[in-house]
Amino acid sequence: MASIYQPRPDVSFVALRTHLQSLPTPLLAPRKVCDPSLSDKIASLYLHPALEALLHLLNHDLPSAHFLVRHMQSPPAYEGMYLHGILHRIEGDMDNARAWYCDVAESEPFELIWTKATEEERQSVQGSEKKLPAQKTARDFLDRIESLAQSKHGDRGPLVEESRRELESLLRWCVDRFGTESCVDATQVWVQPSQEISEKGARMVTGSEGFRMF
C-alpha cells in the first residue's frame, strides 16, 4: 500500500532561502534558471503557493512561479496578484506590470513596501489612459526599469537593490502571514479569476494583447 504521508524534504526552508538570497537578484528577463536542481527542492517543501512562487522567482524560474500565481489572480489573493505584477516586471512587460500593481495598490503587502498613497498621488493617476499604481515611488521604479531595458545603458545597481527590497519584503510578509508549514492541499488557497481577469487572459491567448511569455 502506498504511503499517505508526504516524503520529508531534503532541505529546509531556511537553508533554501539563505542560498537563494545569495544569488543575483532578478531585475530584467533572465536567460536561464539560476539553479535548475532547486526547482524540485522548492516544490518539495509544499509551502503556501505565494511563498513557493517567490522562491522560484529568486531562482529566476519564471515558468514555475507563473504556474502557481495563475491560480491567485483575484481578491482576496492580493499577494498572488502582486506576484503576477512582479513576474511581468521581470519579464519586461511593463504595461501589464503597471496594471497588476494598480490592482493591488491599496493592499496590505503593497502598501507595506511602497507606502500608502497620498490623496495627491491618487489624484495624479485619475483619468490616466493606462492603469497605474498611485504610489509615485512604485511608478518611478517601473519607469526606470523600462528605460534601462530599452536603452541597455544605465546604472543597474540601485534598481537591483530596489528589486531585492521588494522581493525580500514580500517574502517576509508572506512568511509572517502564511508560515512555512506544509500546505499540501493548495486548492484551499486557489481563487476563481474575476470576469476582468478571465477576459484579459482570453485576449492574451487570442493575440489581441500579445502572447504570454511564460
Tell me the helix, strand and coil percentages in the chain, rounded to 5: 60, 0, 40
Model pLDDT for residues 96-126, shown as the tens digit of each residue: 999 999 999 999 999 999 999 999 999 999 9
Q: Is the pLDDT of residue 204 over 60?
A: no
- Measured in whole angstroms, the distance separating CA 120 from the mean position of its chain's CA atoms is 27
Residue 5: inside a domain, yes or no? no
pTM metric for this prediction: 0.85
Model pLDDT for residues 116-163, shown as the tens digit of each residue: 999 999 999 999 999 999 999 999 999 999 999 999 888 999 999 999
Residue 211: inside a domain, yes or no? no
Residue 140: inside a domain, yes or no? yes
Residue 108: inside a domain, yes or no? yes
CA dihedral 90, 92, 98, 99 (to 10 degrees): -100
Q: What is the pLDDT of residue 196?
A: 53
Please tell me the total count of domains within the chain.
1
Q: Between the CA of residue 53 and those of 64, 66, 69, what are the distances in Å?
A: 7, 7, 7
Residue 55: inside a domain, yes or no? yes
Which residues constitute the domain of residue 59? 13-203
Residue with cell 520529508: 8
Q: What is the pLDDT of residue 4?
A: 45
Residue 4: inside a domain, yes or no? no
Across all residues in the chain, what is the average pLDDT? 88
